[in-house]
Amino acid sequence: MNFTPSEGWEARITSSFARQGLMTTMGAVIHPIAPGIVEIAVVPSPAISQQHGFVHGGAVSAIADTAAGYAAVSLMPPGTAALTTELKINFMAPAGGERIVARGEVVKAGRTLTVVQTNVFTETGGTRKLIALLIATIMTLEAKGDFSD
């Protein structure tokens, strides 16, 4: 699908992302790919692990949700904010490798609700393997005060 980007969408999501303490704590980086498509990646480390040494499902889910949110934001009008109302994620393989990459792509951009699918991959030697699949519903809110994204 082709989507109409919101004006200055790349700077907008990059600067909003930089204010997310959790993403900084996890060492996550954001890659705006195109309007409606955003990737977020982390490097596996003990700081984001579960008990068997893989990346914690909560970390996988956090970057997948965040990629979904910013994919939605990239299409939202200025002066609005995005709210994840719900998400569902299926974990299909352990999260290891050199990097974990969550690629969020807007499926349907509505006036109030936007549906986004995020595929999460492990990346090793440039090869990606699908390890998780997330569907999220993002609500567009009128921003109040400083709350725009």
Q: Per the structure block, which two tokens stand in for 121?
A: 């991959």
Binding of its own copies by 43 (CB under 8 A): no
CA distance 22 to 89: 19
Binding of its own copies by 86 (CB under 8 A): yes
Q: Per the structure block, which two tokens stand in for 149?
A: 């994204």
Binding of its own copies by 105 (CB under 8 A): no
Q: Which segment (4-12, 31-39, 90-98, 120-128) binds its own copies by CB under 8 A?
A: 90-98
Binding of its own copies by 29 (CB under 8 A): no
Beta partners for residue 82, in sequence order:
140
Binding of its own copies by 3 (CB under 8 A): no
CA distance 127 to 123: 5
Cβ atoms within 10 A of the Cβ of 21, count? 7
Binding residue for its own copies, selected from 2, 46, 111, 125, defined by CB under 8 A: 46
User: Is residue 91 exposed (0-12), middle (13-18) or buried (19+ Cβ within 10 Å)?
Assistant: middle
Binding of its own copies by 125 (CB under 8 A): no
> Which positions from 59 to 78 touch its own copies by CB under 8 A, shown as an x/- string?
x-xxx-xx------------
Helix (H) or strand (E) holding 140: strand 127-142
Chain positions contacting its own copies, by CB under 8 A: 16-17, 19-26, 45-52, 56-59, 61-63, 65-66, 81, 83-93, 107-108, 110, 112-113, 115, 117, 130, 133, 135, 137, 139, 146-147, 149
